[in-house]
Chains A and B, each alone.
Chain A
Amino acid sequence: MGFFSRFLAKSPKKTSGASPEETATPEASPTAPLGDPPDEGLSPDHSPDLDQAPPIEPPLVVSKEAKEADLLAALDSLDLNQELGREAEDIDLGPSLDFGQSLEEEIRPVVELEEDKLRKEILRSAGVLDEPTQIDLDSQEIENKLLGDLENFFQEQSDLTEGGAFDFPGFSSSGSGLTDDFSDWENELLDRVDDERLEDDSPNQWPEAPEADSELGQVRQLLLAREMSQLSFLTRILTRPSLRAEFISRVITEALLLRTRRDEKLSTVLAPTVEKIVTAAVRRDPETYASQIFPAIGPAIRRSISETFVSKLQDFNSTLEKSFSLRGLKWRLEALRVHKPFSEIVLLHTLLYHVEEIYLIHASTGLVLDHLISEEGGEGRDADMVAGMFTAIQEFIRDSFNMAKHESLDTLRFGDRAIFIRRTAQVYLACVVRGNPPESLNRDLQEALELMVVDCAEELENFNGDSTPFRKRRVYFQDFLKARYQDKSQKISKIFWLIPILIVLFFFFSLMFGRYQDRREAEFMARMASQRNERQIIREKNTREDRSRFSAAIERINQEPGLVVVMTQETADGRWEIICLRDSLARDPEAIFKEESQIPANRYKLSVRPFISLDEDIVRRRVREVIDPLPTVRLSFEPETGELTIMGTAPLGWIMAAKERAKSIPGVLGVSSENLTDPRASEMERLVAAINGVVIHFPTNKAEPIPEDQATLVEAVDNLVALEKLAYEMQMSVNLVIFGHADSTGQDRRNYELSQDRTKTVAALLYARGSSLSISNYGLGSQFSIRGEDDKPMEDADSRKIELRVRLAQGTFGAAAETR
């Protein structure tokens, strides 16, 4: 809204045709509130004040009827408005010419002052002012009459001058006689007035003096004869156009000068007229006009251009003369060929550009008169809308940045494109240019535009939206779009011209290059030869004996299990370099090498890389290291099959751990431990086997074993106690599981209880013997008992029983090892 508010300051316009009332009324202010009293400006005889005419009531409170009435009232004043609009159109002086009001303000005091002075002057000469009592009866009447006449005079004066202020030299002085103050030309004018009077047949417009025979007439004649003749003289000057022109011509230069000194308005007022004059003159004969103003501006332009060029050329010279590239060379050759400074050629090549589009736009409407698109650069945008918006944006910029009338948007840049705007008063060109155009493009565009404007001045004058005539003027701009093609063809011709040069250059360079290559080769050969010689010399340092010892040492290392020599090298200075893989269980290769080769440590370098060897000796060492056998244990490794056999006796825990560890030894593919036993293990196995077979039967519905199985029960408990003791020694744990059963008769719940109770008999006996075995007892009810036909419950002695199971676990390792 920023520019709008600035706009406020300028608007609304005041025109010289506006009545004084309008300009003086406060409602004329542009910021007048919307809620003006509705009855303002409604009377038909009211001045046609456009600002007042359509009243706007404050919102909300007014009824619908009242609003309607207001709208109707507003419409009543519409005719007048339209009238005024027409008038305003005719004598529009531009938006910022606050003409009427200021003029009015200026005139009024002057007129009043003059009026006052003149009145006093006249009264004084009539003796009224000095001795008012002497003319007792008629003085008042006379004065009134005189004042009436004066009123008429000033009325006439203001009518004639249309409110303009004229400073009459005679009146401004307070001298007794007008003629006394007149200079020569004024006297001359006076004479002419007299002449005119003689020739004049028309009745004097000044009110005729009363008849001489009337008393009043005589008095008037007596008192005012001189003044009347003076008034008559002035009236003649004012009413006769020829005299008035003469009169004004005498003072016009001085008036203009005074006015110019006072403020700027004169130039504002005259500017459009001067513009029109100049435009007309230029249109009539552009050649003459140009030749007339050329002497004034030509040298200045030339100097400015030459200065710009000199500085540009200097820049290019300094920066480019140092640079040397293929392109630079090409341009240098071109410069030689066409006899032009190198810098100029560079300028020519770096300023490649392409005019992609040209819009010819009508300035005030923003309508497209013509739109030219280059064959390569055409984009399918809507020229009409783009041009319209483009025009709007220029207006927007002009308003927003308070641009002066002559200032305008010249160039818009975006990326590698730019829009160049060249304009005349009625039309402007907007050219979309890619690349780096020379300044001359702007000049050429302007020239073309001006030529076109002159060519179709008439069409522009009467432009009514029809763009057809302008399409016919395309020729003015078409060449700009073609610029690039010419450039291309030029390029091709240059390439053709360059071909022979390139061929010559090619031969020259190949010759040079060949010679260079030869030299390089020779150098290379020489260097190789010298290197070979050098190497030979060094080699000789290592004696044959050394070398054989070295080989023997390497051989020895390679024989050593877990050592592999992967690389040996004799450097130019006779040093040995050895890279050897070594298993962590192998001997130190360096010790072997040193021992075998007798080569001092400063003559070789042995690097060791770790690896895992599957050499049988190393595997044996590894097995021994990992298993760490007890003295009672013997190991044997079969390298063919990778089978490790562990024999002897050892505690069961150790045996199991050893078996686990043996599996993970690299090189060991299988572990055999059949002959590795624990002496107690067989006893334990016997006990476990004995316990696991035990079944103890019970009578019906009883938790006490049947008498036949009492002995079996005691034996089993004995075995369990013995097993527990052995397991403790061998660091193993024993887990006893007791399953209790009942036959299928009776209630299930009772059967579960019964089977549970039966398992407890064993537990009770064990605890009585001080055992701390871990016991898991499961009462299974009659789940596994035999049932009769049709799944009926039945008595079954074999179903009333408990079964014992023993599990052994490795106490220390926790790995479950079930033994039956």
Chain B
Amino acid sequence: MINKKICMLGSFCVGKTALVRHYVNSIFSDNYLSTVGVKISKKSIEVDGEEINLMLWDMEGQDNYSMVNLSYLRGAHGLLFVVDGTRGETLSVALKLRMEALKILGPTVPSFFIVNKADLEAEWEISEKVLNSLEAKGVTAIKTSAKTGLNVESTFSRLAASMMTSSVPK
């Protein structure tokens, strides 16, 4: 059995918990988020015929990148940075969070940017140009919607796959 730890980071109200809720069921209540600062959920998926347990560490929203409880990041195999497409500043926060996280976990940890709220794309501040530029830097950004479920399932699958191919043991 392969277990993988995935941390989800991002500003407040970008939809981290909604994404996780859309994807899995947890035995813990959302209260853990505000008290302990993290809530753990589990999802079993299959990658190349092998079953993988994804342990999703849904972390409390972080608007100030220095306020992340960095110890929760320890040992993460994959990272998801959640951005609210309608609020450009959440991308900046996510970029800073990424810096902090990569300092701890090393630069090769698979990480995706999730640009959430695709159902409101008309109101987006993050343009296609910005996303392309992000892609050009080697950062995978995926448009999702926790509301409609767009790309949610596939994002986790993609992350799982890239974690499995990631050769660096950590």
Contact = CB atoms under 8 A, between A and B. Distances in A.
Contacts of B69: 3-4, 7, 395-396, 399
A12 B77 CA distance: 22
Given A366-B75, A367-B5, A464-B169, 4 more contacts: A75-B130, A385-B40, A395-B71, A467-B3
Interface size class of B (residues with CB under 8 A): 35 or more
B68 to A, nearest CB: 8
B57 interface: yes
Nearest to B166: A464
Interface string A462-502: 11111110000000000000000000000000000000000
B103 A13 contact: yes
A549 interface: no
A56 B92 CA distance: 6
Contacts of B2: 464-467
A31 B27 CA distance: 36
A298 interface: no
A243 interface: no
B74 interface: yes
Interface string A79-110: 10110111011001001000000000000000
Contacts of A7: 66-67, 69-70
Nearest to B71: A395
B71 A388 contact: no
Interface of B: 1-5, 26-28, 32, 36-42, 52-53, 55, 57, 64, 66-67, 69-72, 74-77, 88-89, 91-93, 95-96, 99-100, 102-103, 106-107, 125-127, 129-130, 133-134, 137, 139, 163, 169-170
Interface string A44-64: 000000100111110100001
A95 B88 contact: no
B134 to A, nearest CB: 6
B95 A72 contact: no
A382 B27 contact: yes
B1 A468 contact: yes
B135 to A, nearest CB: 10
Interface string A355-390: 000000011111110000000000001101110110
Contacts of A85: 99, 102-103, 106-107
Contacts of A362: 75
Contacts of A392: 36-38, 40, 57, 72
A381 B93 CA distance: 36
Given A12-B66, A465-B77, A55 B106 contact: no
A360 to B, nearest CB: 12
A385 B41 contact: yes
Contact of A396 (B36, B88, B129, B134): B36
Contacts of A389: 28, 32, 36, 38-40
A381 B42 CA distance: 12
A67 interface: yes
Nearest to B78: A465
Contact of B74 (A11, A31, A365, A468): A365
A89 B103 contact: yes
A366 B53 CA distance: 13
| Most chain B C-beta atoms within 10 Å of own C-beta, residue among A1, A54, A74, A466 | A54
B58 to A, nearest CB: 11
